[in-house]
């Protein structure tokens, strides 16, 4: 990747992090991120645009660590059943939201 691409990647990561801090809601961030990832997956993006968008913006915006931190707090309370329910619910809901974004994107093209 050229210098211009790296600068765009860093800026995309910065913007993803900024929006994540501005919204400050792990569940909403997860749903929005899944929807837009699904939306952009169906688009024909160039290699550099794909890397900038997915590795830069969305990886900083959705941040897996927020998901893990939430599950850790639930697990730390000692409720295994609540942990298993939230874990599965979050994964299934995000997959469905991602598919919905993909489907919406296909309808507009």
Phi, psi of 95 (to 5 degrees): -65, -40
Residue range 95-109, pLDDT digits in tens: 999 999 999 999 886
Q: What is the 3-state secondary structure (H, E, C) of 5-45?
A: HHHHHHHHHHHHHHHHHHHCCHHHHHHHHHHHHHHHHCCCC
Residue 24's pLDDT is: 79
If pLDDT is split at 50, 70 and 90, which confidence band does 1 have? low
Residue 36, C-beta contacts closer than 8 angstroms, at least 6 positions apart = 58, 101
Residue range 21-74, pLDDT digits in tens: 888 788 888 899 999 999 999 888 888 888 889 888 988 888 777 778 888 988
């Amino acid at each position: 990747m050229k210098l211009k691409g790296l600068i765009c990647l860093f800026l995309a990561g910065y913007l993803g992090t900024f929006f994540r801090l501005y919204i400050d809601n792990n569940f909403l961030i997860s749903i929005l991120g899944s929807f837009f990832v699904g939306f952009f997956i169906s688009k024909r993006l160039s290699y550099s645009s794909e890397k900038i968008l997915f590795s830069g913006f969305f990886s900083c915006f959705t941040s897996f660590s927020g998901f893990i931190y939430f599950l850790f707090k639930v697990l730390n309370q000692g409720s295994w059943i609540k942990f298993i329910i939230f874990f599965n619910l979050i994964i299934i809901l995000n997959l469905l939201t991602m598919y919905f974004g993909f489907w919406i994107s296909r309808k507009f093209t």
